[in-house]
Amino acid sequence: MSIPFFPPDLFDGDLLLEVVREVGLAPDQRFILGSRTARFEEVLRDGLGVADAVACGSGTSALTLVLHAMGVGPGDEVIVPAYGCAPLASAPSTLGATPVFADVDPWTMVVDPAEVDKLVTERTKVIMPAHVFSVMADMPALRRIATEAGVRLLEDSAVGQGGVLAGRAAGTWGDAGVFSFVQVKTFGMPGEGGMVVTGDPALAREVRMLRNHGQDGVHRFRHHRIGHNSRFDEVMAAFQLRRFATLPDRLERRARIGEYYTSRFADLAARGVLAPPPGRDGRCFYVYSLLADRRDALRDHLTAHGIGSHVYYQAPLPRQPAFAGHAQPGRDWPAAASAARRQLAIPIHPHLTDAQVEHIADEVCRFAATSGAHG
């Protein structure tokens, strides 16, 4: 039995060919920012109950566009997690702002609100938490901190689509939220793309202009702002619209696999393998990540038994060469460093069979049961 971490059959190739033909032969010959993109925006806007949704070229550019629309620039600080994907630091950096790194919770790996609170200064412009793997950040606490400090809250929900915390959907807790549709995300597609969702119509209008070179969509070649090229693809919009109705079923399958794993791994912490917290509230089941004291040995064990796995973020962001200049001297991020040493993701995609899921769980438990798992 061979189980790849990234499945080779994520998408229906026939469906992709159908939508390429549909868009390519349409009379208007509109391949970006056309009627399908507008409809896709409407579907997500109405489904989330937000004021607007703005489709962008990628999740990374969506973060940058929102920060730009919020007026972030040189001299400003944006508080971001010390552990996570590079765009958390690169988005503010490209605008001339300073990413300020907050340590994360040692179990969930999402940013620690207490650490964020300590880092707020008069230069703080935005707090930008991110949901990580299968756990949403503590958005109620972060919303309170942002409100009390009088700063904006940008929710990086790139991995969180479909997650719900305290009855409120991922992406809707902040002044704006961002989704990513890159291939491996829960609503991934065979291309790049992202979405900004917000309850602030004025902010949405700014993002909508900035994504298309600062044009307002009414007067072509009239540029109101210095903008970006972050336009959404009509083929991808048509593809996502065709698949949207089945997203809940795919999310449910991921959630059930995650619940099964967590039940099987509940007693492994004493043996050096820690599962994510149980339950569904505040979960998103994008990636199921274990924390293993002997991470590399566990990865080798799974590989030997035909199971793919994946190590994310092998160093905290302030320890990456690109962002080391923003790391405050004398500061440390011990929980982020621990996560970078111990994190290992196992397959959770909805194409897994029950037998494959059981095989994966069996091998994780078998590894933990060996004497070597104690270190």
Active site residues: 185
Task: Write out the two tokens for 58.
Answer: 């990628």
| DSSP 8-class letter at 190 | S
Please give the span between the terminal C-alpha atoms of the chain, in angstroms, as a whole number. Answer: 28
Distance from C-alpha of 227 to C-alpha of 69, rounded to nearest angstrom = 10
CA-nearest of 350, 351, 365, 318 to 79 is 318
SS3 195: strand
| CA angle, 299 then 292 then 119, to 5° | 125
- Burial class from Cβ neighbours inside 10 Å (0-12, 13-18, 19+) for residue 244 reads middle
Name the residue type at position 62. Answer: A
Distance from C-alpha of 285 to C-alpha of 186, rounded to nearest angstrom = 8
> What is the rounded radius of gyration, in angstroms, for the C-alpha atoms of the chain?
21
Distance from C-alpha of 349 to C-alpha of 81, rounded to nearest angstrom = 26
Distance from C-alpha of 155 to C-alpha of 81, rounded to nearest angstrom = 12
CB–CB of 147/120 below 8 Å?
A: no
